[in-house]
Amino acid sequence: MAEFRLRRSLLYVPGNMPSMLQNIPIFHSDCIMVDLEDAVPYSEKDAARVLVRQFLDSYRDHNKEIFVRINGLNTAWWEDDLRTILPALPDGIRLPEANGPELVEKLDTMLTEYEEELGLEIGHFKILPSIETAEGVINCIRTAKSSSRLIGLAFGAEDYTASLEIERTKGGEELFAARTRVVWACKAAGIQAIDTIFPDASDMEALERETRLIKTLGFSGKSLVNPRQIDVVHDVFRPKQEEVDYAL
Amino acid sequence: MEIKRAVQAGTMQSSDLMVFIEPADELEIEIESTVKKQFEHLIRAQIEAALETFAICSGRIRVNDRGALDYAIAARLETGLRRACS
């Protein structure tokens, strides 16, 4: 069982926007995921990773958990991402398109090499793989047990629905089977299940409904795209008084 | 290192800056900033520190700052100089 840490809200912050990066200390999400992948245009990959490294260097005593979403292992950028940002000591790496355990194992090996080079304890850098394709969902039970660095699996519905050539709906019926399988994988491996983003940052009622649903399914938290979504998610995950009384 | 080509880095968004770099025979530094009156000397010091790190003695460095913090200034200068010297 991985060491427990509260991860109800994992907020994405674009890696190439200083106005967002420098607000990280005051965002009250449990975790921040600085994004070097989808939020950054191809021509700005070099600039974003330097900006993130400089920001993290200025924020060494960070007051919340910091993950960096690197570019996928099938791109030309991920090795430069790691080389640039790991010396600034993020807590972990969010690995996109983790379609099978071999990708996590490949990243694990690289992280071990950097930990040795940087004089860090082996296992310092955690991994949060994204399960966001049909293949990833099929393999997620093995992926969940592929590294002791894993703190959880993060389901990604946008790319998942694209891989199925279907539309994502607000009701989320099309996601039920995949979400359930990701939760099974996580519970069997003793790690946390993190749900996908809810893309409509203006519809708080639908976000609350979806968060209640994923809590019921067994997820520990949710990826977020807007800081306004944090309170809604925290409210849903806050134990009711009768639950606290029962636990005591 | 040597500035080999004209490049730019950064954006004109709030809390960011644009860095324009091009080859020149001598060192020229030009700073525009929404907070120039208060912080020009600090921005200049960061530019000079970055140039020293990259061992650059000549080139035209133009900065248009929109209230960026130190880390962002350092990052945009580093990106611009890496691009210019590559």
The Cα–Cα gap between B73 and A153 comes to 35
CA distance A53 to chain B (A): 8
Give the pLDDT of residue A3: 67
Fold of A9-247: TIM Barrel (3.20.20)
Query: Is ipTM strictly over 0.90?
Result: yes
The Cα–Cα gap between A141 and A129 comes to 12
Q: pLDDT (tens digit, 9 = 90+) per residue, A112-133?
A: 999 999 999 999 999 999 999 9
Q: pLDDT (tens digit, 9 = 90+) per residue, A199-223?
A: 999 999 999 999 999 999 999 999 9
Reply yes or no on whether the pLDDT at A173 is more than 60.
yes
Q: Which residues of A touch B69 (CB under 8 A)?
A: 18, 22, 58
Is B2 among the domain residues?
Answer: no
Q: Which residues of B touch A46 (CB under 8 A)?
A: 79, 82-83
CATH number (domain holding residue B50):
3.30.230.10
Is B74 among the domain residues?
Answer: yes
Searching chain A, which residue's CA lies closest to the CA of residue B68? A18
Pairwise CB contact (< 8 Å): B82 & A46: yes
Pairwise CB contact (< 8 Å): A47 & B13: no
Find the mean pLDDT for residues A59-78: 95
User: In chain B, which among 10-49 make CB contacts under 8 A with chain A?
Assistant: 10-11, 13-16
Find the mean pLDDT for residues A59-71: 94
Q: pLDDT (tens digit, 9 = 90+) per residue, B11-69?
A: 999 999 999 999 999 999 999 999 999 999 999 999 999 999 999 999 999 999 999 99
Is B81 among the domain residues?
Answer: yes
Structure tokens at B72: 């962002």
Q: Which domain holds residue B30?
A: 7-85
Pairwise CB contact (< 8 Å): B82 & A17: no
Question: Across chain A, what does the average pLDDT equal?
Answer: 96
CA distance B35 to chain A (A): 16
Share of chain A above pLDDT 90, in %: 93
Pairwise CB contact (< 8 Å): A18 & B82: no
One-character DSSP codes across chain A: -PPP---SEEEEEETT-HHHHTTGGG---SEEEEESSTTS-GGGHHHHHHHHHHHHHTTTT-SSEEEEE---TTSSSHHHHHHHHGGG--SEEEES---SHHHHHHHHHHHHHHHHHHTPPTT-SEEEEEE-SHHHHHHHHHHTTS-TTB-EEEE-HHHHHHHTT----SS-GGGHHHHHHHHHHHHHHT-EEEEPP---TT-HHHHHHHHHHHHHHT--EEEESSGGGHHHHHHHHSPPHHHHHHH-
Domain count, chain B: 1
Searching chain A, which residue's CA lies closest to the CA of residue B15? A19
Q: Which residues of B touch A58 (CB under 8 A)?
A: 69-71
Buried b (16+ CB within 10 A) or exposed e, B29-41: eebebeeeeebee
Share of chain A above pLDDT 70, in %: 99
